[in-house]
Copies of this chain bind each other. A is one copy, B any other.
């Protein structure tokens, strides 16, 4: 790999970093070679995941938090993972507001959209994190839309995971069902000037009390009004406290091991399938699918034939 490009990325030059992320998004051998060159320079950044349902005010909070870290002399990057439709235009519009809000702050921001293939997205996000890590950003904020398992998988690979709630998103049972409490290191009730903020915070505390693992880190429940910047300093402090806890208990390495364990398994699955099917003609595959849709053979029987073939 071009050593000038490598040093531009390592110096965090925005254009070089943006281009490198585009290359890892495209995948293939070029992406692999890039990651191979950058990987030895990674491992220093604090990776912070922020997740929660639509309407909790994630983007506003992430922007405010990024600015707070800037005032603390940190170099900050944001990856906004967005399973947007290619035709809604929502992402584009939302991005434009954000970009304006961050203009002149020196904060690097990048949107990554799924375009339907989640395996590919998760891998691309992982590789983009490595690029930003090698580019010497101190803090990498990974923001994921939605409370689905796919987004949770991405957020859980962060060193510190922040789960957002907001009052008035429907009945509490529903909100808690989102099932992301167990991955939270810090819980935030945003839009805390709304009715019901205290009730939402109390419901979260109650749920934490049900956690049988009493020796583990207990996620603090914080209230913020991100739009007014309220509570953001406290949130940054809570994140720092969690990072300290990770370091003191040798848990940062454990989190990294879990992240790379999942990445390796997913990469192997994709590669193995690709290899297995590369000599299968499209007509043959279609015949198999037809056999299933017409109920002549089931999925397991076809899989057996392919695996033994």
Contacts and interface: CB of A to CB of B under 8 A. Distances in A.
Interface in A170-216: 170-171, 173-182, 207, 210-212
A243 interface: no
Contacts of A179: 82-85, 88, 90-91, 113-114, 145-146
Contacts of A85: 179-182
Interface in A69-96: 82-91, 93-94
Question: Which of A35, A179, A301 has the most chain B CB atoms inside 10 A of its CB?
Answer: A179
A306 to B, nearest CB: 6
Q: How large is the interface on A (under 10, 10 to 19, 20 to 34, 35 or more residues)?
A: 35 or more
B288 A148 contact: no
Nearest to A178: B54
Nearest to A43: B295
Contact of A94 (B147, B177, B207): B177
A237 interface: no
A87 B210 contact: yes
Contact of A272 (B58, B93, B273, B289): B273
Contacts of A83: 147-149, 152, 178-180
A219 to B, nearest CB: 12
Interface in A119-173: 121, 145-153, 166, 168-171, 173
Contact of A170 (B43, B55, B257, B273): B55
Contacts of A16: none
A299 B257 contact: no
A122 B59 CA distance: 29
A182 B301 CA distance: 32
Interface stretch (A3-11, A100-108, A228-236, A261-269): A261-269
B268 A307 contact: yes
A147 B268 contact: no
Given A114-B149, A148-B151, A261-B289, A211 B303 contact: no
Nearest to A80: B177
